[in-house]
Amino acid sequence: MKITIIGTGYVGLVTGACLAEIGHDVFCLDVDPRKIEILNSGGVPIHEPGLLEIITRTRAAGRITFSTDVEASVAHGEIQFIAVGTPPDEDGSADLQYVLEAARNIGRYSNGFKVIVDKSTVPVGTAQKVSAVVEAELAARGLSGSAQHRFSVVSNPEFLKEGAAVEDCMRPDRIVIGIDDDEAGQLAREKMKRLYMPFNRNHERTLYMDVRSAEFTKYAANAMLATRISFMNEMSNLADRVGADIEAVRRGIGSDPRIGYHFLYAGVGYGGSCFPKDVQALIRTGGENEQRLRILEAVEEVNHEQKAVLVRKITSTLGEDLTGRTFAVWGLAFKPNTDDMREAPSRRLIAALLARGASVRAYDPVALHEARRVFALDLHDVPEQHARLHFTNTQDETLAGADALVIVTEWKEFKSPDFNHMKSVLKSPIIFDGRNLYEPDAMAELGIDYYAIGRPRVE
Ligand code: NAD
C-alpha cells in the first residue's frame, strides 16, 4: 500500500520504517530539512536500536523515501499518517498547531480518497478538528462534497516505547483503531485492516472502537503508567523514613498478578516527551469538562518533587553549599537506550548542582550530543555555571578526583562497574544512586558510602 508519514521524529520514522519493512511503499515527510538531509545521506537523526538497519535495507529495496516536498507527500499516500509533535501549550493543554498544519496540507493537495490517521497523541475531539480543517481546505478549492476527494479521519494512537520502539512497532501488544461508522469510515476500516494484516497473522491484536475512545485510550494508558511511578516514588520516600527497603516491597507486591512487576521502580521521577505532557494535557481536559482529576494532580506534584530527590540526599550529606565540589554524573537521557533529553531528570539535577557552586563531569552512552545542545540552551543565561559542566567520552573519565558519583539513568553498562577501581579514583567513595542499581550490603562491604532511593543505608 502507498503510505505517507507526516513527521519523521521518534514515532513517524519508526512507524514508516516498520511499515516499509513489511512491504509497504512509504513516503516520509518532514519540515525540518536537517533531518531529511541526514536520512538521505544514509544516517538516522535519532538513536533507536535496530532502526538504521531497517532503513538501510528498505531504502535499498526502494520502499522508503524521505522528503520535504509537501505536495508530493500528499499525492503519494492513500493513507496519510500524522505523526508530528503535540507539545504542551502554556496552559498545559496539547498544542495542536502542527497537527492542524498537517491537516491543512492534506486538504490543500489532496488528489483522491484519503485515510487520515492521527498517530500523534491528541486530546479527545481532535479528529473532528482535523476533519473540519481538511473540509475547509477542500471547500476553498471548490471540492466540498466531491466524491473523488472524500476522506475519513482515523485515530490510531501509538504505544511504542523509546529505546525499544522498533521491537514495539514490529510486535505490538495491541493496535487501537478508532473509526467512524459512516461509509468513508467503512472504507477506511478496510484499508487499515489490510495495512496492519501482517501484525495480526497469529492472533488479532487490533481493537476497533469509536474515535473519541481511541483518543482517550492513549491518555488513560500514559496516566496509569505515570500513576504507578509516582505511587512507588511516594512509597520509597516513606520507606526512607521508616527504614523499609522499597526493593523488597516492590518484589513483595509485584508478585501479586493483580499488580505485576512492570512500572514499579522507584527512582528520580518520570521524564521524556510523553508522560509529563500527557498527564498535564489530561488534567487540562478534565478542567475543560468540569471534572477535576485529583489523582493525576497528585501524580504530577509527586513527580515534580521526586526530580529533586537526589539533590536533597546530596545536600543533606555534603551540605547546601557545594562550592568547590565535583560530581561525576552517569546517565543523561531520560531513560536507557535513547538519546532523548526531553524533561530528563538529569537536567534538573545538574542545574541544581551547578547553582550550588559544584562542578559536574557527565557521561551518557548515546545522549552526549543531544545533552551538549540542551544544556547550552538551559544554561544560556548562566555562562559561569555552564563553564563548570563538562562531558566525558567514557564513564571512567567522570570519576577521577570527583567527590561523589551520581547515577541518574539505568543504562546496562552502569550495572557492574569495577568498584575497586572506582574507589581508587574517586576523591571520596560516595555513590548517590537514583536507580537502585546496587546492593547496599555489597556497597558497605566495599567501603562505599551508598545512598539509594527508599533503601536503608548500611554502615
Ligand atoms: P518528534 O518531535 O520527535 O517528531 C515530530 C516531527 O514532526 C519533527 O521532526 C518535526 O519537524 C515534524 N513536523 C512538525 N510539523 C510538521 C509538518 N507540518 N509537516 C511535517 N513534519 C512536521 O515527536 P515524537 O516523539 O515522534 O512524537 C510525535 C507524536 O507521537 C506526539 O504527539 C507524541 O506525544 C506521540 N508519541 C510519542 C511517543 C514517543 O515515545 N516519542 C510515543 C507515543 C506517542
ipTM: 0.99
- Is 217 flagged in the annotation as binding? no
Cα→Cα distances 132→137, 211, 220, 280, Å? 9, 15, 25, 26
CA angle, 269 as apex, 328 and 246 as ends, to 5°?
90
pLDDT at site 357? 98
**Residue at which a domain ends, from 150, 177, 209:** 209
Give CA–CA dist 427/409, Å, rounded.
22
Which helix or strand (DSSP H or E) is residue 130 part of?
Answer: helix 126-140
- Residue 120's domain spans which residues? 2-209
Q: What is the average pLDDT across 22-43? A: 97
- Residue 10 alpha carbon, nearest atom of ligand 1: 26
Which residue has a Cα nearest atom 28 of ligand 1?
Answer: 85
Tell me the CATH number at 399: 3.40.50.720
- Is 161 flagged in the annotation as binding? yes
Q: Are residues 340 and 196 in the same domain?
A: no
* Residue at 56 is within a domain: yes
Confidence bin at 84 (pLDDT 50/70/90) = very high
* Residue at 281 is within a domain: no
Ligand 1 midpoint to CA 266 (Å)? 28
- Residue 99 alpha carbon, nearest atom of ligand 1: 18
Q: Are residues 37 and 183 in the same domain?
A: yes
Cell triple for residue 156?
Answer: 490510531
- Residue 12 alpha carbon, nearest atom of ligand 1: 26
Q: Are residues 6 and 151 in the same domain?
A: yes
- Residue 159 alpha carbon, nearest atom of ligand 1: 43
Q: Check pLDDT > 90 for residue 241.
A: yes
- Residue 340 alpha carbon, nearest atom of ligand 1: 41
Query: How do the residues of the chain divide into helix, strand and coil, expressed in percent and rounded to 5?
Result: 45, 15, 40
End-to-end Cα spacing for the chain: 64
Q: What is the average pLDDT across 271-292? A: 96
Ligand 1 midpoint to CA 426 (Å)? 41
pLDDT at site 137? 97
Give CA–CA dist 328/407, Å, rounded.
8
Q: Which of 13, 27, 84 to mutate to test the pocket of ligand 1 (most atoms within 8 A of CB)?
A: 84
pLDDT at site 201? 85
- Is 114 flagged in the annotation as binding? no
Helix axes 126-140, 211-242, angle to 10 degrees: 140
Q: What is the average pLDDT across 402-417? A: 98
Ligand 1 midpoint to CA 8 (Å)? 7
Ligand 1 midpoint to CA 146 (Å)? 31
- Residue 277 alpha carbon, nearest atom of ligand 1: 34
Q: What is the average pLDDT across 426-449? A: 97
- Is 409 flagged in the annotation as binding? no
Ligand 1 pocket by Cβ (under 6 Å): 6-12, 29-32, 35, 83-86, 98, 101-102, 120-121, 158, 160, 162, 273-274
- Is 86 flagged in the annotation as binding? yes
pLDDT at site 234? 98
Give CA–CA dist 155/275, Å, rounded.
19
* Residue at 302 is within a domain: no
Please compute, for residue 239, the number of CA atoms within 13 A of its CA located in the half-sphere on the CB side.
Answer: 21
Confidence bin at 105 (pLDDT 50/70/90) = very high
Q: Check pLDDT > 90 for residue 294.
A: yes
Ligand 1 midpoint to CA 453 (Å)? 33
Q: Where are the beta strands (DSSP E) in 79-165?
A: 79-82, 114-118, 151-155
* Residue at 228 is within a domain: no
Q: How many CB atoms lie within 10 A of CB 42?
A: 10
**Residue at which a domain ends, from 177, 209, 241:** 209
Give CA–CA dist 338/341, Å, rounded.
9
Q: Which of 36, 96, 273, 340 to mutate to test the pocket of ligand 1 (most atoms within 8 A of CB)?
A: 273
pLDDT at site 202? 85
Q: Helix, strand, or coil here: 178?
A: strand
Residues 361 and 328: beta-carbon distance below 8 Å: yes
pLDDT at site 459? 85
Provide the percentage of residues in the chain whose pLDDT is more than 70. 100
Q: What is the average pLDDT across 76-80? A: 98
Q: Which of 15, 30, 71 to mutate to test the pocket of ligand 1 (most atoms within 8 A of CB)?
A: 30
* Residue at 98 is within a domain: yes
Instruction: State the total domains in the chain.
Output: 2
* Residue at 220 is within a domain: no
Residue with grid cell 476500516, as numbered in its chain = 189
Q: What is the average pLDDT across 188-212? A: 94
Ligand 1 midpoint to CA 101 (Å)? 13
Q: Are residues 182 and 312 in the same domain?
A: no
Lowest mean pLDDT of 161-165, 201-205, 233-237, name the range: 201-205
pLDDT at site 145? 87
Which residue has a Cα nearest atom 34 of ligand 1?
Answer: 121
* Residue at 404 is within a domain: yes
Tally helices (H) and strands (E) across the chain: 18, 14
pLDDT tens by residue, 242-252 = 999 999 999 99
Q: How many CB atoms lie within 10 A of CB 47?
A: 20
**Residue at which a domain ends, from 175, 209, 243:** 209
Q: Helix, strand, or coil here: 80?
A: strand
Cα→Cα distances 188→93, 99, 178, 453, Å? 29, 20, 11, 49
Q: Which residues are catalytic?
A: 274
Q: What is the pTM of this model?
A: 0.95
Give CA–CA dist 307/185, Å, rounded.
44
Q: Which of 158, 219, 338, 339 to mutate to test the pocket of ligand 1 (most atoms within 8 A of CB)?
A: 158
For the chain, give the mean pLDDT: 97
Which residue has a Cα nearest atom 9 of ligand 1?
Answer: 9
* Residue at 273 is within a domain: no
Give CA–CA dist 100/37, Å, rounded.
25
Displacement of CA 395 from its chain's centroid (Å): 24
- Is 159 flagged in the annotation as binding? yes
Q: Check pLDDT > 90 for residue 123.
A: yes
Cell triple for residue 84?
Answer: 508530528
Q: For residue 62, what are the contacts with CB-CB under 8 A and spacing of at least 6? A: none
Query: For the chain, how big is the Rg over CA atoms in Å?
Result: 24
Q: What is the average pLDDT across 127-146? A: 96
pLDDT at site 344? 97
pLDDT tens by residue, 295-343 = 999 999 999 999 999 999 999 999 999 999 999 999 999 999 999 999 9
Ligand 1 midpoint to CA 113 (Å)? 24
Q: Check pLDDT > 90 for residue 70.
A: yes
Q: For residue 43, what are the contacts with CB-CB under 8 A and spacing of at least 6? A: 52
Q: For residue 432, what are the contacts with CB-CB under 8 A and spacing of at least 6? A: 310, 313, 314, 317, 404, 405, 406, 407, 451
- Is 381 flagged in the annotation as binding? no
Q: Check pLDDT > 90 for residue 218.
A: yes
